[in-house]
Amino acid sequence: MNSSAAIGIFDSGIGGLTVAHAVTKLLPNENIIYFGDTAHLPYGDKSAAAIQAYSIKICNVLLQQKCKIILIACNSASAAAYELVKEYVGSKAKVMNVIDPVVNYISENYAGKTIGLIGTKQTVNSNIYRKKTDALDKDITLKSLATPLLAPMIEEGFFNHNISESIIQEYLKNEELNDIEALILGCTHYPLIKKQIESYYKDAVTVLDTSEIVAKSVKEFLSENNALNALNAHIKHFYVSDYTQSFETSTKIFFGEQIRLEYYPLWE
């Protein structure tokens, strides 16, 4: 593995920038290539077959860039396309998702506990978190709730706002999430509303920021394989399959700093 090669990260939109930001914060020397498939967002209401087709197209772009890791920074795509992408990429790059690191974290910290999960319809209906937590045999009870309004609400900039407050509270008071001790933010958009969720629970429930957990798993993999970049990062490319000026402006909220998005017409 070429240690100076970039880490490729993709998502349906800008939600995955929360993961990219966590990775660059923890691994400032790493080169980053990000692809936001904004022409097809959100993935949460797409079929598994459609998500798989989009994911393979994006992987081709990242493989052309010689990425050492391809990180699927989307729970919906991780649920629907991870196994196919891993088989497609083969030994050309390490394929990682945003679900397995979180399941491993739960295994280590929440045996015998009741955990909540909020995410898109695709993520929740896939039952992938439940299957993986059941397979741990750690007596973990998982309570899941689809929260389809949250990702588009965040994409449109409606958070830290009365509208978002009402929607968040309406979801969290659902009886499906009763008696949980921790809550998995099962969508890469959701770290942006973590404070509002924590405020609702008033420290009674631990809110798990999956972007930080995933970034740590990337660092662990690179460390174990002697693939950390020893040089200062000089590549940070951010591509989108559909482009608007307002969309570029909103990425500052997700990434924590102004970045320039480059239009990459995926389907031409």
The answer to whether the annotation marks 47 as part of a ligand binding site is no
Residue 12 contacts residue 76 (beta carbons within 8 Å): yes
pLDDT in tens, 109-162: 999 999 999 999 989 999 999 999 999 999 999 999 999 999 888 877 777 778
Residues with Cβ < 8 Å from 186, sequence gap 6 or more? 75, 102, 117, 118, 119, 120, 123, 124, 129, 210
Catalytic residue, candidates 6, 23, 74, 98: 74
Mean pLDDT for the chain?
92
Q: Tell me whether residue 59 is one of the annotated catalytic residues.
A: no
> pTM for the whole thing?
0.91
The answer to whether the annotation marks 199 as part of a ligand binding site is no
The answer to whether the annotation marks 38 as part of a ligand binding site is no
Predicted confidence band of residue 105 (pLDDT cuts 50, 70, 90): very high
Residues with Cβ < 8 Å from 166, sequence gap 6 or more? none
Q: What value does the mean pLDDT take over residues 28-35?
A: 95
User: For position 246, what pLDDT does the model report?
Assistant: 67
Residue 105 contacts residue 185 (beta carbons within 8 Å): no
Per the structure block, which two tokens stand in for 201?
Answer: 């629970």
pLDDT in tens, 230-265: 888 778 899 999 987 767 777 888 888 888 889 998
Using a 10 angstrom Cβ sphere, with 0-12 exposed, 13-18 middle and 19 or more buried, the burial of residue 268 is exposed
The answer to whether the annotation marks 161 as part of a ligand binding site is no
The answer to whether the annotation marks 44 as part of a ligand binding site is yes
Sorted by where each starts, the structural domains of the chain and their CATH numbers stand as 7-97+212-263 (3.40.50.1860), 100-210 (3.40.50.1860)
Catalytic residue, candidates 96, 128, 187, 261: 187
Q: Which residues of 162-173 are buried (b: 16+ CB within 10 A; e: fewer)?
A: eebbebbeebbe
∠ CA 129-135-140, nearest 5°, is: 70
Is residue 164's pLDDT more than 90? no
The answer to whether the annotation marks 188 as part of a ligand binding site is yes
Q: What value does the mean pLDDT take over residues 204-211?
A: 95
